[in-house]
Structure 1
Amino acid sequence: MPTHAQLERRVIDIADRVKRRVPIEDSLVELKREWPEHTDKKRYEFSRQIAGHANSAGGSPILWIIGIHDKSATVPGATDDELSTWLAIFKSHFDGLAPDLLINLVVPVGDVSVVALRFDTSRAPYVLKYPRLSEPTREVPWREGNAARTATREDLMRVLAPVEAVPDIEPRECIVSEGGRHDALQLSLRFEMYVHSATGEKVTFPLYKCKAAIGNTRADGKIRWVPMSVARITASPHHTTKPGYGHIESKTVIESASETIVSGAGMVTMYARIDAKLGKLRKTVEADVSLWVLGAGRAVRLRETLSRDTHPRTGEVQWVMKRRADASLE
């Protein structure tokens, strides 16, 4: 589970992207301009949307942020004054269990604050009680796109059939660098991330189903995405100055030509490249990677905004992710 500091950083990143009109293409994130209106109908519909999102999340936690409006690319802000009242009403809409609220966090964004709600979805399906007797008394909602509908039998099979748990993946470092080969511009991506399986089971990433792309903002403000060729996903190299230990091999990451397996937890690095001209790269570029989890039936998607910098030793131009501070114990 992410710490409060990590969640705050993620919320701030999302708010920055919304203001720059960069699409938030994460199926596990939902943005709302405000809390629902104080009517039974609006509050029930809000609960139904969360239930549909939780049922279709495949067991992964979902994040709802109140106070960000992606359609208008604004951050009007919100407070948590209504949280306790809303949460009691929210739980009353369910037949039995409701998605458990893991974290609620007020995050300052500029001159306002937004409210982040992180829900556990591991005990799906979640069943709603209809408030009107003229309709069926129970429903299992399902999210499709940005709307909620009633789940079909096929949808329920996805929830009930045993699948591998989706691991937590935390980005640690991401660098895009330029290079030349045969008078052609080559861009290389190095994306380091920490993988952790909550169940302690092995996590397998089939290389052929993992993807990477670089996004360059055009003059009209839209992002031009260019896919990269994923070369490897390997154990991250670890070096130490301890006498007699120049290099430490990973004990939990195994790489083959077709897949990478992480036993429980470990640091891995994805390497990708492209021989193409993207035009003049801006001061910031977007890096997007998708890691398919074998057995889970879905991919974990990570996107980072990188800022132009120079290599401290060679002076070469590169684009780097802002270094994440290690979380302190709370």
Structure 2
Amino acid sequence: MKSHQIESWALDVIERTLTGAPNEDSRVELKREWPEPPEKAARQIAGHANAARGASLLWLIGVDQRSGVVGVQHNELASWYSQINAQFEGLAPAMQDLNIPYNGVTVVALHFETDRVPFLVKNPAFGQQRGGPVEFEVPWREGTSTRTAHRSDLLSVLSPIAEIPEFEVLQGNLKIQDIGKEDLQQLVLELSLYVHKDSSDLLVIPFHQCSAWCNIERDDRQYPFDQIELSSPVELVDKQWIQTSKTIESTSTELLIHGPGAIELSAQTISSLRDTGVASLRHSVPIHISLQPSKSQYSIPIDVTLERRQNVPLIGETVMHYSNVWGLSWR
């Protein structure tokens, strides 16, 4: 989700909270302060994410249903989330944070992607005396409380996910380019994908429901892409570019998938990197993409890591080039 969408969502929740309206959106959680201890907070996040069934979540830190907007310090996020992340087994929900100034204080919006369910957390009692043999738990949110997931809960999450098509990354390139304006760079992402789809049902992916981000700097700051497009490969026939795929179609607003086939993804954004020096940029850049099919509560995650190109001359305004072509790995 783009930053302006998160801010709009958060402001809408804040305004409704200040009018005394109850929070009726199951995807939203309000916290007066940074939730502690880490074990409890991680369990709440995991339970909320598992029960969301692929829908994104919004946690607002510094907002209370009774007291209204009280604000918090954003600089506490790094240490807080590192402790939270350590409580997860294998993978935590992807998180995007945003500072939202409101009436002289700052609310921190935490947007969680839940498209990689299920999420497991560590049992803090495991390994201790009388701690029992259970090492991990799949939490589940029910109402305002968190419990252990039942078998039916897991089936409700995993069964629809099994029907989601698989996207394979064939090639990838990410370029950082100067655009002639001070302290601004353009990030340009290009991926060649192949979709493996068993069902004959039409799958429609609107571009405005897609999101992507990358971690380009060593401090783990996420850079979201603003413009994302998916297209069917084209060929030049009789001096005209035409789509030749029999299973993939694309328009200016969406991608239509009838069956397996090749897809081109492009995304770009203009950002201000803190430092474009080689020492401050990652050697390996993780990229996360989320595709949200129309009329589906489940999004499709695509993760790829591109490596810095070595000993390749940079042309024009290109500052850095990452790729998985010519023997460079992606994972």
- Could you state the TM-score of these two structures normalised by the residue count of structure 1? 0.49
- Could you state the TM-score of these two structures normalised by the residue count of structure 2? 0.49
